[in-house]
Structure 1
Amino acid sequence: MCGRYALALSNEELYDGLEARLPRLFENGRPRWERQQDNRGGNYNVAPRQRAPVIRRDPEDGERGMIETMQWGLVPHWTKHPPTGPLNTINARSEGLLDASSGGMWHALKGYKRCIVPAQGYYEWLKKASSKIPHFTRLPLDKSSTAEHPPLLFFAGLYDTVKYVEPVQSKFQPNLDDPEDKREAYPTGNPIPLATFTILTTEPSKDLRWLHDRMPVILTDYEDIEKWLDLGKTPQKGWEEGKNGTGALLNSKEGLDCYPVPSEVGKIGNNSPTFIQPVSERKDGIKSFFSKQQSSPAKVKKDEKPLSSHTNNLQKNHESDIKPKVENTENVKEEAEGIKSDITNHDKEKGLGDDSNAPNNQHDQQTAETSDKVIGSSQMKDEKNNNSEGEIQEVKVENHKRKREEVDSQDEAKKETEEPDPKPKRGLGGHQTRVTRKTVDEGSKEQPAITNFFKSPSQPQSAKPTTKPTARGKRKR
């Protein structure tokens, strides 16, 4: 935890949400936003290696906070080359920050590189015997929010900025042929420095221990956020030890709403407003499933006669014998709700830190990096052409299959009209097997009865009859 979260707001909507939740952050106007063009708005499924807005102390004005679009998955500033494997730094255990003797890279960042991550809620996977069910956790709704637009909460986090020793080619480039395309290349770490962040986790609250053994550190009060970001203090104090120090903010949060959501959220790149809505309130949810079952009872035919009590009991016993047993009624409910996951033992969970439970793997993290890019018009055309070529190929395969079926049917009809071969063929059964009579040249061997030819396979072929054939069984020559 935390392996996924939701922030489905545009840049303007995020500004409005921050002003509603943290009005003191806007006392001197809107906070400035660095790399605002990199934010991918409307993301209901933020995944590792994707970019998202983060709030930190403004180095130009320590009295205020600022927004910066960063990449999820912290890369320390001393890193020389971009990581090629899975990122294990999307989460950081808060206990490691509290123990000064534990060492580690988090102590080098906790003093002056603290941040908060705005979100509408986070996902966690409840482990079952053969599946994992995703759940969405958020703040309770108030008068100004709905299930589609829940209130903002803020994760406590750390950030860092890295510049690699060698240039890194950007995977995104603006359309140079379009003069109106003002987009800039994404930060790569060289030549453009790359800012990354991690989310702090702690032990879960009592009301969420059933879900997972970790949860993110959530801040909601402005006083706590101001202290965590070290705002309004010149010079910057950094990390304060002691009972009432900075570490006192790293606690679990109680009173959150949590409910199951569709399993489609488990795949990186999927994005839908239904991911944050309770399944029971959706049109295709559990209520709709059972209402359909009740509204369509089995109809009895008019011409059917009522069965006697004895016949009815026999029918019930027969139905109980052939009716499949339901091993787990909870699985039936999960399928009806649309939340049953198809996670197999093949699925790996690497790259999500030491306490994550999201069904991600290394390939998914690389997919997340590409899914976060803005697709240009030329790329969209290529995708359309590829789709049309695929449809043409499917039509060709279907036509070939149809022709092959016609040829097979013609061959089958031809075989039926042909006369059987007078010579017996070995190994063939059915109407092609011919039974021949004994000739004079065959010697004095007796002709076996035709019933012996079709004897049961369970009887050995070498078995001899215990009694001699009667005169009736013999044929005249």
Structure 2
Amino acid sequence: MCGRFSLLGTPEEIAAYLALMELEAFPPRYNIAPTQPILMVIAGETPPPGSNRPDRRALLVRWGFIPGWVKDTANYPLMINARSETAIEKASFKTAMRHRRALIPASGFYEWRRDGNRNSQAYWVRPRNGATIAFAGIYEPWANAEGSEIDTGAILTTSASEDLRFIHDRMPVVIEQKDFARWLDCKTQEPRHVADLMRPAQADFFEAIPVSDKVNKVDNTGSEIQERFVETFAEAKKPGRVKPPEPDNQMKLF
């Protein structure tokens, strides 16, 4: 799964990577948590004839997917992830999978491993080359009873690559840059046409760095949460599902 992630590149670097015209300025975000706004990139309208640049636009989305048909969110679960293997079959996600696929720029994500005594160890999982990556995402507008509308979204997950299974059995789907256009093309590319993109990252693409439990607290938003930390247990155990700490319900932009 993916319960926290970071976005550390400059707006200029991220815009260039995702072929956006520009992005508004924002600071590095070290500890992005559910219910907070996240940056998504979606396909725009058809670019003008002769243009050699794809038409894409940035969108701020609440991290926590709410299907459009939900009337009351009080008792509705916080859906921050969607299993890529079954999303097209689920009533909650199938419309977004067909019509509203997105890219989520990131610098890496956090995951928790626990031992037989239910002690947990947090890891900062980042690309070995330090580059920006893009998670596969879906989004959907949701309106409350008063008519106020927000865009909501989720990160698609897949089985973990072999080298990360000692932490957890799931990881975010990473879309390679060469596949951006195909993933975002919801006009001609149905979910079955892009199913091959929803796979684990290659082994050794990521490195997992043990970090302290500072990342557990949403209010800790500085670079110190990514500093290497002595692991709380040394022997790798069979991974179990570990639910990250519940975040504060917040909608501050940065």
Residue 226 of structure 1: aligned partner: 181
The equivalences for 1:103-118 within 5 A come to 103-118=90-105
1:201 shift after superposition: 0.5
Aligned partner (choices 124, 128, 150) of residue 140 of structure 1: 128
The one-letter amino acid paired with 2:140 is D
- The structure whose residues are more often helix, as a share, is 1
Could you list the per-position Cα deviations for residues 305-338 of structure 1 after superposition, in whole angstroms to 9, with x for gaps in the alignment? Answer: xxxxxxxxxxxxxxxxxxxxxxxxx7588xxxxx
Residue 214 of structure 1: aligned partner: 170
Flag the 1:332–1:215 CA change in 2: closer, same or farther, 3 A. Answer: closer
1:229 shift after superposition: 0.6
Flag the 1:130–1:106 CA change in 2: closer, same or farther, 3 A. Answer: closer
The one-letter amino acid paired with 2:11 is L
Residue 73 of structure 1: aligned partner: 64
Flag the 1:64–1:253 CA change in 2: closer, same or farther, 3 A. Answer: same
Residue 17 of structure 1: aligned partner: 14
Residue 45 of structure 1: aligned partner: 31
1:373 shift after superposition: 5.7
Normalising by structure 2, we get a TM-score of 0.84
For the 8 Å contact 1:115–1:156, the answer to whether it is kept is yes
Distance (Å, rounded) in 2 between the aligned partners of 1:87 and 1:261 = 28
Residue 239 of structure 1: aligned partner: 190
Could you list the per-position Cα deviations for residues 350-391 of structure 1 after superposition, in whole angstroms to 9, with x for gaps in the alignment? Answer: xxxxx9634323xx342xx16x267xxxxxxxxxxxxxxxxx
* Structure with greater contact order relative to length (CA < 8 Å, sep ≥ 6): 2
Distance (Å, rounded) in 2 between the aligned partners of 1:240 and 1:91 = 17
Flag the 1:152–1:356 CA change in 2: closer, same or farther, 3 A. Answer: farther
Flag the 1:55–1:332 CA change in 2: closer, same or farther, 3 A. Answer: closer
Structure 1: gaps spanning 5 or more residues: 142-149, 168-189, 280-285, 287-329, 334-354, 375-477
Distance (Å, rounded) in 2 between the aligned partners of 1:332 and 1:210 = 12
Could you list the per-position Cα deviations for residues 75-102 of structure 1 after superposition, in whole angstroms to 9, with x for gaps in the alignment? Answer: 1222334x2357431000011136xxx4
The one-letter amino acid paired with 2:74 is T
For the 8 Å contact 2:31–2:221, the answer to whether it is kept is yes
Aligned partner (choices 157, 181, 197) of residue 201 of structure 1: 157
Larger radius of gyration: 1
Residue 88 of structure 1: aligned partner: 78
Residue 439 of structure 1: aligned partner: none
For the 8 Å contact 2:80–2:155, the answer to whether it is kept is yes
Is the partner of 2:99 in helix, strand or coil? coil
For the 8 Å contact 2:169–2:241, the answer to whether it is kept is no
For the 8 Å contact 1:2–1:356, the answer to whether it is kept is no
Flag the 1:132–1:54 CA change in 2: closer, same or farther, 3 A. Answer: same
1:240 shift after superposition: 4.9
Residue 5 of structure 2: aligned partner: 5
For the 8 Å contact 1:124–1:358, the answer to whether it is kept is no
Distance (Å, rounded) in 2 between the aligned partners of 1:202 and 1:46 = 20
For the 8 Å contact 1:97–1:247, the answer to whether it is kept is no
The one-letter amino acid paired with 1:105 is S
Flag the 1:356–1:5 CA change in 2: closer, same or farther, 3 A. Answer: farther
For the 8 Å contact 1:266–1:358, the answer to whether it is kept is no
The equivalences for 1:98-177 within 5 A come to 102-128=89-115, 129-141=117-129, 150-166=130-146
- The structure whose residues are more often strand, as a share, is 2
Does residue 357 (structure 1) correspond to residue 242 (structure 2)? The answer is yes
1:219 shift after superposition: 1.5
Flag the 1:267–1:153 CA change in 2: closer, same or farther, 3 A. Answer: same
- Count of equivalent residues: 242
Is the partner of 1:265 in helix, strand or coil? helix
Distance (Å, rounded) in 2 between the aligned partners of 1:196 and 1:356 = 24
Residue 237 of structure 2: aligned partner: none
Flag the 1:209–1:121 CA change in 2: closer, same or farther, 3 A. Answer: same
Could you list the per-position Cα deviations for residues 98-141 of structure 1 after superposition, in whole angstroms to 9, with x for gaps in the alignment? Answer: 6xxx4422111111100011111000001122411100111112
Could you list the per-position Cα deviations for residues 128-170 of structure 1 after superposition, in whole angstroms to 9, with x for gaps in the alignment? Answer: 22411100111112xxxxxxxx321111010011222315xxx
Equivalent pairs: percent with the same residue? 26
Aligned partner (choices 257, 264, 285) of residue 207 of structure 2: 257
